[in-house]
């Protein structure tokens, strides 16, 4: 269950969970409880009192780093300079725990991510393409 975002009120921290061609696919990442991960994230959102929103996307793009979760800042986090953080290889309970702990502490712009989670940050697809172009010059 997801909670509705009030159009003119504060926006909660949001997780966009990729569940496209590669992310969430047991053939690509066997041994990962993809449904269990999504259920845990949705349960946390339901228990958050509107401070967390979870949604899924068909494909976010960086398939080589599946599973991908984008952690988007709340209104307060954005006001403090927080930007969306792209997490790659979100495949195990430890990563899910780190994501949930970070958003419970306020998420981007409000709290620092756990160090182990920060190691899994990946550039957004457009930024990765820009970096690749700059490297070819």
pLDDT in single tens digits along all 137 residues of the chain: 455 555 567 899 999 999 987 888 888 888 899 999 999 999 999 999 999 999 999 888 888 899 999 999 999 999 999 999 999 999 999 999 999 999 999 999 999 999 999 999 999 987 655 555 555 54
What whole-number distance in Å separates Cα of residue 98 and Cα of residue 116? 8
Q: Which residues contact 131 (CB under 8 A, 6 or more apart)?
A: 123
Q: What is the DSSP letter of 96?
A: H
- Identify the bridge partners of residue 121 per DSSP, sorted by sequence position: 87
């Amino acid at each position: 269950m997801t909670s509705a975002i009030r159009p003119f009120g504060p926006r909660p921290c949001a997780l966009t969970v990729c569940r496209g061609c590669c992310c969430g696919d047991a053939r690509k990442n066997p041994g990962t409880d993809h449904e269990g991960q999504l259920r845990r994230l949705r349960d946390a959102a339901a228990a958050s009192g509107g401070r967390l929103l979870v949604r899924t996307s068909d494909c976010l793009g960086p398939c080589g780093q599946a599973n991908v979760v984008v952690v988007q800042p709340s209104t307060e986090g954005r006001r403090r300079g927080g930007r969306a953080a792209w997490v790659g290889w979100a495949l195990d309970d430890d990563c899910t725990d780190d994501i949930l702990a970070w958003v419970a502490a306020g998420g981007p712009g409000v709290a620092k991510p756990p160090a182990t989670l920060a190691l899994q940050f990946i550039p957004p697809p457009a930024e990765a393409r820009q970096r690749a172009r700059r490297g070819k010059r």
